[in-house]
Structure 1
Amino acid sequence: MHIEVAPIVARLQRDVPVAEALIDDAMIALLSLTTSVVTARRDTAGVPAAKGHAMIQRLTKAQMSLVDISGDVLRVHGELVTIGRETAGYDLHEDCPQRKSAVLPLHAAA
């Protein structure tokens, strides 16, 4: 079965950077939340330092999970580039679009 490669490549060139940007946006949002939680704990009178520590650990664990996910998606991106070169002769790193944020930056939403 012959499949036209160009539409597949175009879809991947659109979807991979969007996924990468969304993961970055999620990491930024989690970091912002973590900052807000730690700041609230520090600035709220009478709250002991140990209060909320488990919550902060969970946020940090979630952040590390996103870092792992980001690395996996970047490796997939590299593997797709290799497949493109091997199967279609594409030099896809040169054709990869610049990454753009898929959502508004946090400062734009405020």
Structure 2
Amino acid sequence: MRLTVLLLSYLVINSVKARCQYGEVEYKGYPFSPFPISKTVVFNSPFEQEPAFMYGIRMLDINYAENTRASVELLKLTRTEFTLSLKTMHDTKLYGLGVTWMACP
């Protein structure tokens, strides 16, 4: 019984050390459209191995006269940092783009 409690305590303590990290990448450039751009973010603390990573667009500032086309691509992911590419396509005038991200062990 005591071994089970110690093992559970060890698992809980180790899972607390390895935490998810999250944040936002945002660029606003009105009245200019500076895209495409790349943004590199360094994690607050490095992961033991390459983390699972997900992201989503949370904000767009686009000229109403053109079609809405924006692209976000993960260019690089390591234990210590990641790089996102933020860009537009064709004739879209993109003035701002915000991305929310999360990395987990």
* TM-score, with structure 1 as normaliser: 0.28
| Greater share of residues in helix | 1
* TM-score, with structure 2 as normaliser: 0.29
